[in-house]
Amino acid sequence: MQIIKIGGNELDDPTFVDNLGQAVAALTEPVILVHGGGKEIKELQIKLGIEAQYIDGLRVTDAESLAVVKMVLAGRVNKRLVASLVAAGVDAFGMSGVDRASIRVEKLHHPQGDLGLVGRVTFVRTEVFKHLLEEGVTPVLSPICYGPDGSIFNVNADHVAMAVATAMAAKVLVFVSNVPGVLRQGELLPHLTAAEVEQLIADKIIVDGMIPKVRSATEAVAAGVQAVKITNLTGLQAGTGTTIVA
């Protein structure tokens, strides 16, 4: 079993979403798909006149912003992905961490300020996902999660993917984007340790948008995920990419 995490930038591309369905349909092992959608959230906030605020890269989520987050993540993005998967023949089920309280969280306290209704995962109800997978169903999980006393929290999608991968003892957590993996002079680096990743950043081999991708990967292996792969849709089907281990 593998956990696949899709970033928000890729979800804006209709071709990517269509091809995602076909790529997942071609896989031979069970999958849990976790998605973000930050770019669409920001665009809708602008349309509604809500100013987006961030602390250390994490979205500050007040009650007004949470309403937008739920609309985009549990609504527009989730259903777009489910529709693409079903069209490709995947028995996909759209859900959030609120459904069946599958992902329980508490308020995330950040030293640099109050993030509002942003949560930290404390528990994954693994039986919810195991039952779906046993029935041949592919969960498509948005990172809106269940908090204390029925409250609802926004959670970083990378963190939800990490928590699910660890709790489910997944073979690999795959971060799917628009790049085949980490490249050095145009050559794909198939395996890296966390220490090698930091050296490649220091040597300016890993630059720009790849830095947050590999940092998410090293954070995941530090949190207990066995291995994290960075790849694109072609690599997802072919089993290629850059695999990062502790």
Report, as residue numbers or ranges, the catalytic residues.
Answer: 5, 8, 38, 158, 213
DSSP states of the chain: -EEEEE-TTGGG-HHHHHHHHHHHHT-SS-EEEEE--HHHHHHHHHHTTPPP-EETTEEPB-HHHHHHHHIIIIIIIHHHHHHHHHHTT--EEEEEETGGG-EEEEEPPBTTB--BSBEEEEEE-HHHHHHHHHTT-EEEEEEEEE-GGG-EEE--HHHHHHHHHHHTT-SEEEEE-SS-S-EETTEE--EEEHHHHHHHHHTTSS-TTHHHHHHHHHHHHHTT-S-EEEE-HHHHHHT-SEEEE-
Q: How many CB atoms lie within 10 A of CB 201?
A: 16
What does the block give as tokens for 203? 């040597």
For residues 102 and 145, give the distance between their C-alpha atoms in angstroms, rounded to a whole number: 8
Can you tell me which residue has the tokens 């527009």? 76
